[in-house]
Structure 1
Amino acid sequence: MSTTTTSFLTLPAPLRTFLASFPLYTYPAIQARPAHSKPTHPTIWIHPPLSDPDHNLLSADVECLKWQAYIAMRDVEGVRVRCDVKAEGGVGGRLPSLWVPVALGLEGQKEADEGELLPAHLIPAWVDREKAVEKADELEGYKDVEARDESRAWVTLLEGTVHSALITFQPTSTTARSSSVASILTPPPAPLTGLASLFPPYGAHVPSAEVEVKYAEAISALSERLSGDKWFLGSETPTPLDALAFAYLHAILHSSTSGGPLRTQVTRRVNLVAWERRVSGLVRAAFVKAGDV
């Protein structure tokens, strides 16, 4: 014996024809990601390399590269690299950002077992924890107080004069922008609008020739200061200054812009080229592509 179920309500044929144009599809439920899908190794998110991201894990962006160099020069190995994340996915909409499986546990942050995505300025604190540093080195790795104080001037030179030249001649090598390229020029350059203009003076007309001259002087001074030393300022081990210098030299030497005034000034200094090549191998060895064993 069989039974059939019929509905006492039937739709008019025109309405059934109309609704047939909008069929109802059902899909299986989306399963939540298992807990083990979270990264189990520290992973740095960077802007992609210039080419061959499967083998070249050094970012083409100088801001990302200087933090990669910092991590490598602090002897932290096995850090994974992801270059498929847009800048909007980083902390504050900027890269690099560092995912760590165990949070730093700073006030107001997540529980330690949930992991954490760190902005760039917290990378040194994470490295100190990884290296079990109980007390900060007052000399920051430099051989004496004088060298530490001198390093401040070289950092200013790199992040001022050299960075301004990078923005002017190789803008694709950095996502950071100097607040004023004109600040390195003396006397200050003229505004974009003249005194007789209908518009009030604004901006600055930065002559690229002056930027190039300042840059050439900076690279010459950098080469003389390095001389034949293993690390800048005669340090026995790499310092933050070495990480910064490497980032700029690597970005200049391996830019997508072939030749150019910036690269020419560096290639004239054999010691800078040899130093960058040696340090490049050290930095590359510290990173592994995310997903590789």
Structure 2
Amino acid sequence: MMAESRTEEVISTSDPTVEVIEEIQPDGTVLRKKKTTRTITKRVLSTSTKESETSGTSSTSTITSTGSSSSSSSSSSSSEVLISSESFKDITSGETKETAKETTKEAAKETKETKETMETKEKEDATKSESKRAFKYKVFGEGDSQAHPFYRFLARFPLKSLPAQHQRPSPIKPVLYAYAPGWKVNRPKETTPEANETSEEKKEEPAPTTGSFDVDSLKWMAYLKFNNIDYDIRPAFEPNMSPSGKLPFLALSDGSFVTEDGFEDFVQMNGSPDAKLDINEAAEAFAFTALAESKIHAALIYTLWFEEAHFKNTTRSHYFGHHVPVLKTILAYQEKSSIVHSMLLTRTQIDRELIFEEAASAIDSIATLLGDSDYFFGKDAPSSLDAIVFAYLHVILTLPKVRSADDSGRSSELARIVRKHSNLFEYSQKMWRKYFSA
């Protein structure tokens, strides 16, 4: 009796190779199929046994299979069979079949999604076309819309793009948008009736806007003039028109803007340098700048916003006078509330006597530093410290006088402190005449 047993042992499996096959369907869609092939090395063992009652011996033979052919040997041995990708089609493993099924499912899913997307787009286009037709029928009625009287009427006014009739020319020189002019503005000279008869033939151009009632605006006006930078002034009263949300700012001919943080760099690149300060003078100028912008500034802010006489008659009308009365009052009190908040960030309370004592001490120190010189540190040209000190002195000294029974001279106290120092008063007048007076 012959008994035969056959066993297969997988020795190794190579990495699968994926091949994408694209098939164009009749509806125009593309069906993508993935073909995965791999090489499997197997060991095939086949053993035949002959049983006998008399001899109990057995012989074994190993068959090496390559496709359908076979061979035998007398000795018991094993051989390795390499199955190629072609023969693998007939001996497909369960894993490969599952991969093929998943690939088919993914391809079918992609095809379904593509069809759904195209159907959705077609529905949207149809809805738009239907809405256009409905509007067209509603306005012109059914039939040929071009024959409708209303359509023929509209056809007489076709839409055309015309060039601008007037374009604002680009500025030739920088334009400074700032609070302007100052507290006091020169009025035009009075003329006689005889002179008015010839005024139509020869009209005088209006005097240029000079100065400012705002310290920051006047400071940068002076600094630009000190460095021989020519510019025009445009009165502005809305801080939000500035890119930084604060006035002043400089508009250049190339369309760019210079705000407060960039003024010094702009001056150093485009202007003639002002007075050169050594290291010690620069450090001292920095200290006195901080002194003016903290102590004198606090006293000036208190005078403008907390002295009721100035707040109602001067400050409110200059900063917000371009608004209607109700809005002017609301905005003025909002700004006052913001100033109170900012002042309380650096002090525990707003004490008038302490504020003015500190301002008087700072003014005394600045007067001592100036001495009898034309400019600070005895220079032949003004520096940035001159621009800052001049701005504060000029705004304080030109502040309009307020006549009020309740004021008792409180609103002009800061100006009296400055006038005690004749060198500061003369310094302010001299700087104004030289750089600002027309």
What TM bracket, shorter-length normalisation? 0.5 to 0.7
Unaligned runs of 5+ in 2: 1-139, 142-159, 187-205, 306-314, 320-334, 403-410
2:211–2:218 Cα contact (<8 Å) kept: yes
CA deviations 1:232-278 (Å, max 9, x no partner) are 12223211101000110011011234561110011111111111111
Instruction: Describe the shift of the 1:71–1:92 C-alpha distance in structure 2 as closer, same or farther (beyond 3 A).
Output: same
Task: Give 3-state SS (helix, strand or coil) of 1:98's partner.
Answer: strand
Look up the match of 1:191: none
CA deviation after TM superposition for structure 1 residue 32, in Å: 2.8
2:184–2:398 Cα contact (<8 Å) kept: no
TM-score by length of 2: 0.46
Unaligned runs of 5+ in 1: 1-7, 10-27, 103-114, 134-139, 189-203, 288-293
CA deviation after TM superposition for structure 1 residue 52, in Å: 3.3
Task: Give 3-state SS (helix, strand or coil) of 2:399's partner.
Answer: coil
Look up the match of 2:269: 129
Aligned partner (choices 348, 365, 370) of residue 226 of structure 1: 370
Look up the match of 1:116: 256
CA deviation after TM superposition for structure 1 residue 282, in Å: 3.0
Look up the match of 2:15: none
Instruction: Describe the shift of the 1:263–1:246 C-alpha distance in structure 2 as closer, same or farther (beyond 3 A).
Output: same
The CA distance in 1 between the partners of 2:165 and 2:389, in whole Å, is: 42
The CA distance in 1 between the partners of 2:429 and 2:184, in whole Å, is: 18
Aligned partner (choices 212, 222, 226) of residue 59 of structure 1: 212
The CA distance in 1 between the partners of 2:165 and 2:252, in whole Å, is: 18
1:143–1:236 Cα contact (<8 Å) kept: no
CA deviations 1:133-171 (Å, max 9, x no partner) are 7xxxxxx83442211111111011001101111111123
Asked if 1:162 is matched to 2:296, the reply is yes
Q: CA RMSD in A?
A: 3.3
The CA distance in 1 between the partners of 2:267 and 2:234, in whole Å, is: 19
Instruction: Describe the shift of the 1:218–1:74 C-alpha distance in structure 2 as closer, same or farther (beyond 3 A).
Output: same
CA deviation after TM superposition for structure 1 residue 181, in Å: 3.7
CA deviation after TM superposition for structure 1 residue 132, in Å: 7.2
Displacement over 6 Å in runs of 4+: 173-176
The CA distance in 2 between the partners of 1:132 and 1:268, in whole Å, is: 35
CA deviation after TM superposition for structure 1 residue 63, in Å: 0.8
The CA distance in 1 between the partners of 2:228 and 2:398, in whole Å, is: 24
2:299–2:355 Cα contact (<8 Å) kept: yes
2:296–2:359 Cα contact (<8 Å) kept: yes
Look up the match of 1:277: 429
Amino acid at match of 1:58: G
* Larger fraction in strand: 2
TM-score by length of 1: 0.67
Higher relative CO (Cα under 8 Å, sequence separation at least 6) belongs to 1
Q: Report % sequence identity.
A: 23
1:164–1:178 Cα contact (<8 Å) kept: no
Look up the match of 2:253: 101
1:91–1:119 Cα contact (<8 Å) kept: yes
The CA distance in 1 between the partners of 2:387 and 2:174, in whole Å, is: 19
Asked if 1:255 is matched to 2:403, the reply is no
The CA distance in 1 between the partners of 2:241 and 2:165, in whole Å, is: 19
Instruction: Describe the shift of the 1:221–1:120 C-alpha distance in structure 2 as closer, same or farther (beyond 3 A).
Output: same
Amino acid at match of 1:211: I
Asked if 1:264 is matched to 2:264, the reply is no
Count of equivalent residues: 227
CA deviations 1:50-70 (Å, max 9, x no partner) are 343854411111011111111
The CA distance in 1 between the partners of 2:261 and 2:229, in whole Å, is: 17
Aligned partner (choices 206, 218, 222) of residue 69 of structure 1: 222
CA deviation after TM superposition for structure 1 residue 225, in Å: 1.2
Amino acid at match of 2:225: A
